[in-house]
Amino acid sequence: MREDDRRLDYCVKCTDCNTACPVIKVLPGFPGPKALGPDLERLRKEGIPCDTPWLAYCLGCNRCELACPNEVNVSELIARAKGKQRTSGRAGLRDRLFARPYLLGRVCSVAPALSNSMLRFKPTRWLMSKSYRIGTEREFPKYHSRRITHNKNGTSRREIIFFAGCFIRYNDPHLMQAVVDMLQLHSSVEIVSEACCGVPALANGDRSQLMRDLRANVESLLPRVQNGARIVTACTSCGHMLKAEYPRLLKDDPHLGRLAPIISQKTYDLAEFLLELGGGPAAELQPVNKRLAYHAPCHLKGQGIGRPWLRLLRAIPGIEVEEMAAECCGMAGTFGFKQEKYQISMDIGEELFSAIRAYHPDLAVSECATCRMQIEHGTSVPALHPAEILHQALVGNSLQTSPLGGRS
Opening angle at CA 295, ends 163 and 335, nearest 5:
70
Per-residue confidence (pLDDT) for residue 279, from 0 to 100: 57
Which candidate, 371, 368, 337, 339, places its Cα nearest to that of 353? 371
For residue 3, the model assigns a pLDDT of 59
Task: List the end-to-end C-alpha distance of the chain, in Å, as a whole number.
Answer: 57
Task: Determine how many CB atoms are found less than 10 A away from the CB of residue 26.
Answer: 18
Sequence-separated (6 or more) residues with CB below 8 Å from residue 199: 60, 237, 238, 240, 241, 333
How many angstroms separate the CA atoms of 398 and 408, rounded?
12
Helices (H) and strands (E) in the chain, counts: 24, 8
Partner residues linked to 267 by β-bridges: 231
pLDDT at residue 407, as a whole number:
45
| pTM for this predicted structure | 0.91
Using one digit for the tens of pLDDT, what is the confidence trace for 333-382?
999 999 999 999 999 999 999 999 999 999 999 999 999 999 999 999 99
Q: Return the ∠ at Cα 373 (arms to 180 and 317), rounded to 5°.
A: 55
Contacts of 105 (CB under 8 A, 6+ apart): 143, 166, 169, 170, 171
Residue limits of CATH 3.40.50 in the chain: 283-395
Q: Which of 129, 186, 174 has its CA nearest to residue 147?
A: 174
User: With contact defined as beta carbons under 8 Å apart, do 43 and 90 qualify?
Assistant: no
DSSP codes of every residue in 313-373: HTTSTTEEEEE-S----S-TTTGGGBGGGHHHHHHHHHHHHHHHHHH--SEEE-S-HHHHH
Tell me the per-residue pLDDT of 290-305, one tens digit each, with 9 for 90 and over: 999 999 999 999 899 9
* Alpha carbon distance 140, 138 (integer Å): 6
Residues of the chain with pLDDT under 50: 1, 155, 402-404, 406-408
The pLDDT value given to residue 1: 45
* Number of other CB atoms surrounding residue 6 within 10 Å: 9
65 within 8 A of 24, measured Cβ to Cβ: no
Strands (DSSP E) along 246-338, which ranges? 267-269, 290-294, 319-323
Give the per-residue pLDDT at 105: 92
Contacts of residue 138, Cβ cutoff 8 Å, sequence gap at least 6: 336, 337, 342, 377
Return the CATH number of the domain spanning residue range 283-395.
3.40.50
Measured between alpha carbons, how far is residue 201 from residues 57, 106, 381 in Å? 15, 17, 30
